[in-house]
Structure 1
Amino acid sequence: MSTSNLSAVDGTDRLCVSERAQSVPSRVLHLRQLPADVSEQEVLTLALPFGQVNKLITLKAKNQAFIEMGSEEAAVTLMNYYTSATPTIRNQPIYIQFSTHRELKTDNLNNQAALQTINATEMHSGNMTTGVDGRGPARGQSPVLRIIVENLFYPVTLEVLQQIFSKFGSVLKIITFTRNSQFQALLQFSDPLHAQHAKAALDGQNIYNGCCTLRIDFSKLSALNVKYNNDKSRDFTRADLPTGELEPAAFGVALPPYGAAAFTPTFHQHTALSMGAVPGSLVSPQRMSLQMAPPPVHCVLLVSNLNPESISPHCLFILFGVYGDVQRVKILFNKKENALVQMTDATQAQLAMSHLNGQRLHGNVIRVTLSKHPVVQLPRGGAGQEEQALTRDFSGSALHRFKKPGSKNFNNIFPPSATLHLSNIPSSVSEEVLKDLFSSSGFTVKAFKFFLKDRKMALMQLASVEEAIEALISLHDHQLDHNQHLRVSFSKSTI
C-alpha cells in the first residue's frame, strides 16, 4: 500500500513517518527497519497474537509500517512483550515504538475489509491464542511445531524448512520423519511467540504452487533432543554434532528413509501476497503461495546399495517405470551395486526418488539420490560385451506408462505397498489362476479380491512390501493369453 492511499491523519496533514521516539502509550504502533520487500502478512504476524488489528499502513519505500491495534491495552501488552523479546522478520530485528498518532485514517476500504476478515478468522480458528486474561500470547505455549506436508509432489528438505520458518524467528532444531505414509517434521523456535507467528502465517499454505501443503500444529514437546546433524535432523546451535548413520533409532521417532538430501530449491525473495487483493483472499484455504522455485532440472538418478547378483537394467526399468517413463539405465561396470536411471523429466525423477529411496530390493535397502550427470551415456563402440549389456536404452519401449497425455496412470501413483493393483485381466482368467501365477513365482498370497464393477481389475495382497516390489518387477507385462498382458502397480488400498 502506498502513501497515495492515505488520508490526513488529523484531517489536514499527511502521515509523518519521521516521528520522535514515544513512551506515551497509544494503540498506534510505529515499526521501523523492516525488510525492503516485507509483505503485509509478515507485519501482521507480529501483532495478531496480541489482539485485533484495526488498520495497517506500510511505507515500503521507507521500510516502515503503522499498525492500529483494537485497543490501547493490546498495544501496551505487545510493547511489554517485545521489550524482552526482540521482534524479528526473516531474522532481521524490527524496532517498534508507540506512535504520536492516536489513530490511523485510510481511504483504502478493501484493506480494512480484508483486515476484518483476518481478525475474525484468526479468532475463530484459534490462531490468535491468548492467555488466561485474554491480553497476550498464551503462557507456556510450546516453541515446537509439528508440521505435516500433504500432497507431497516434491521432496522437502531440512534446508527448505529452515529457509521458510526462519522468516518468523530463530529456528534452533529440526527433525524430519515419515509416519503413516506422511512426511512430517518437528521444528523448534527460540521463542514460543515465533512459533505462534509461523503457525498463523504458514498453516494451510503451499511450498510450491499447487502442492506440498503445510499443516501445522503445536507439539506437546517443549524441546527437541537432536543427536546428529545430517539430512534427517539438525541442531543449528551445535555444529559439533556427528553425522551418525541415519539409523531410525537415532532420533527416538520412526524415521523411514526419505530421499530429499540432494534437493535444495531456491527461494523467491517475495510472496504473492498483496493486501490490495480481493478482501478475504488472505484467509482462503490456501492463503498465499510461498512461491519457491521449481526443482532444478535433474532427470538422472543415482541408485546405490543394489544387490549386484540380482540387479539388471530391465529390473530397474520396470520398478522406476511406476513413477515415470525411464529412458536409459546404466549399471556401473566397476561398481555394480550402483546404477544410473534417466527419467523423462525432473518431476518424474523427484517422484521416483521420494517413493523408492529406502525401499528394500533383493534383500538390500537401496538409496536413491539425484545424480550430477545430466544424461546417461550409452557405451562407446569399443566397449566390451558385458559393459554394453549393463546399459540399456528404453526410450522406444512400449511399456511406458505415462507417454499418453491424460492417462489414468497419472492419478494412480502410490508408494510401494504390500497390496498390488492388477489390471488388464482377461475374463477367462480366474482368481485361482492369478494366485497360482504369483505363488509359483515364489510369492506368498495373503488375500485377493476382484473389483466388483470391473472384473478386469483386482487387488492382491502379498506378505510384505519387499515381496510386492519383486512381484511387480517379475510379473508386470506377463502374458495371460495370446493378446493380453498383465499390468501391475502399487495400490493405496488394503483388502
Structure 2
Amino acid sequence: MSTSGQPQFRYTQTPSKVLHLRNLPWECMEEELVELCRPFGKIVNTKCNVGANRNQAFVEFVDLNQAINMVTYYASSSEPARIRGKTVYIQYSNRHEIVHNKSPGDVPGNVLLVTIEGVEAGDVSIDVIHLVFSAFGFVHKIATFEKAAGFQALIQYSDVQTASTARDSLDGRSIPRYLLPSHVNDCHLRISYSAHTDLNIKFQSHRSRDYTNPYLPVNPTAMEGFLQPAVGADGKKMEFESNVLLASIENMQYAVTVDVLHTVFSAFGTVQKIAIFEKNGATQALIQYPDITTAAAAKNALEGHCIYDGGYCLQ
C-alpha cells in the first residue's frame, strides 16, 4: 500500500500491453510518460490528460511482455513510479490498444467554428471578427449565431492550410482590448474545425457576410441589430465601422429616390447597393460600398448635411 492509502497496483486485472496511469501531474506531457516507460520497452502510442482532472493517461507498449515487465518491476520495487515528484499509480488497462477517435472538431477543414467566451452577442461585431481573422488570409464568409455554448461564429477560408494557421495562432487567445466594448473585461477564442466546407449566406447582415459576392442583397431587417450599436459601460453608444451605411433622412420635403441617393453617395466611391425603407414613420436607407474606408469617408462628409439646398432632407 502507498502512503496515501491507495494501492499502486491492481493485481486482479488481466494483463494488457496498455497500461493505465493515474495520479499524474497536471497536464502531464507525452514526453514525460515515454521517459518513465522507456526502460521497459518500446512505446507505440499514448493518450494523455484523460479524466475529469486531466491527471490520467494510457500508455501502449509494442508487446504484452514489456507492459508486464513494468508492472512487475514497480510491484517489487521499494521506490514507486514518479513523475515530477508525484507517485504514479499503474494498472493494466481493460483495453488492448489505444484508438484515437477524432471528433469532427479535430479533423482539419477550411471552415472554423469559433466560440467567443465572456461576451454577449452584441459585444463583438462581425466586422471585428473579420478584422481579427483576416490577418491570416482572405476570409470568404462569416456567419454568427448564439447557442448553448455561447456566441459563436463560422469563418470560411479558401483552404485548409490558411484555416489551420488561423486556428493554431488564435485558439485560446483573446481579441485585442481596443476592439472590445469597455464593459468587456476579457474574452477568449475557443476554435475547432467545422464539418462545413461552404457556408450558405443568403444576405449581408450584422450576423452574416459573404465577402466574395458584392452583389448579395442587404437584408434591412437583419442589419437592424448591427445598426443599433452596443452600449459601453459609460452609457455611450459604440459604433463599429462597416462598409454599409445607415442614412436616416429628416425634414423630408422633396422625394428622395434611389437615384438621388446614388448620385449623392457616388461622389465618394462606387455604390454597390441601395435599399430604402420606412421605419417608425421615418425614411431610412442602407448604402453599401465595397470597403469600410470608402463608407467612412462618405459618412464623415455627409452626416448632418442636406441633400437639397434650403435645409431640406437632412441626412
Normalising by structure 2, report the TM-score. Answer: 0.36
Structure with a larger share of its residues in strand: 2
Query: Higher relative contact order by CA 8 Å / sep ≥ 6: 1 or 2?
Result: 2
Higher Rg:
2
Normalising by structure 1, report the TM-score. Answer: 0.23
